[in-house]
């Protein structure tokens, strides 16, 4: 699968995913900074609409948010991060960390972390899991040196291959 085909697969699989109302992108980013007391203020910064239209600046400025999202927010924002990453991962001025890829670590063999990640993916259907697997597989095959292809390859063969 090429980059455009992976993006199309992600867009189709996550079409119509509902927007979170509790732990949104800016709330999750604030939680990364130990700011737990002003969720309603941070929520006001969030884009309202489909994940496909989340402004790139929001993704760029909230790179740590994926870790702090609940399952509803994770299912909504992860595809936006994956598509953004695929469009920009070769631009080191935009992409400082491979957070979209690292969010797909499942911690196979580490029971506590594995359970935590299973909860994160608990709302994903089979098409959404397959889209994540396609994303990981694409990056595992990438040899540009602009992504962590060794990490992608490891998590693909540890877990994601079964959905691809």
How would you label 91-103 residue by residue, b for 16+ Cβ within 10 Å and e otherwise? eeeebeebbbbeb
pLDDT value at 95 more than 80: no
Give, to the nearest 10 degrees, the angle between helix 25-32 and helix 71-88.
90
Structure confidence by residue, pLDDT tens digits, 115-125: 888 999 999 99
Lowest mean pLDDT among 36-45, 112-121, 153-162: 112-121
pLDDT band at 92 (very low <50, low <70, confident <90, very high): low
Total residue count of the chain as it appears in this document: 164
pLDDT value at 91 more than 70: yes
Longest pairwise C-alpha distance within the chain? 44
Distance, in Å, from the CA atom of 120 to the CA atom of 50, rounded to the nearest integer, reads: 20
- The more confident residue out of 30 and 109 is 30
How would you label 60-74 residue by residue, b for 16+ Cβ within 10 Å and e otherwise? eebbebbebbbbbbb
Q: In this predicted structure, what is the pLDDT of residue 94? A: 67
What is the chain's mean pLDDT, rounded?
Answer: 93
Q: Of 46, 47, 50, give the one whose Cα is nearest residue 30.
A: 46
pTM listed for this prediction: 0.93
Q: In this predicted structure, what is the pLDDT of residue 1? A: 92
pLDDT value at 93 more than 80: no
Q: Where are the alpha helices (DSSP H) in the chain?
A: 3-13, 25-32, 39-43, 56-61, 71-88, 99-102, 111-120, 126-141, 149-158
Contact, 153 vs 101, CB < 8 A? no
Contact, 51 vs 19, CB < 8 A? yes
Structure confidence by residue, pLDDT tens digits, 53-74: 999 999 999 999 999 999 999 9
């Amino acid at each position: 699968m090429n980059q455009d085909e992976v993006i199309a697969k992600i867009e189709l699989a996550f079409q119509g995913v509902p927007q979170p109302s509790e732990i949104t992108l800016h709330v999750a980013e604030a939680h990364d900074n130990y700011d737990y007391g002003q969720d309603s203020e941070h929520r006001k910064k969030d884009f309202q609409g489909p994940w496909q239209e989340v402004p790139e600046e929001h993704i760029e400025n909230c790179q740590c948010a994926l870790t702090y999202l609940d399952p509803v927010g994770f299912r909504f924002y992860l595809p936006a991060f994956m598509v953004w990453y695929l469009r920009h991962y070769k631009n080191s001025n935009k992409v400082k960390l491979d957070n979209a890829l690292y969010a797909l670590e499942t911690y196979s063999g580490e029971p506590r972390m594995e359970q935590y990640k299973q909860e994160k993916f608990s709302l994903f259907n089979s098409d959404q899991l397959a889209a994540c697997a396609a994303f990981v597989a694409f990056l595992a095959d990438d040899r540009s040196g602009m992504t962590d292809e060794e990490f992608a390859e490891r998590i693909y063969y540890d877990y994601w291959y079964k959905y691809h």
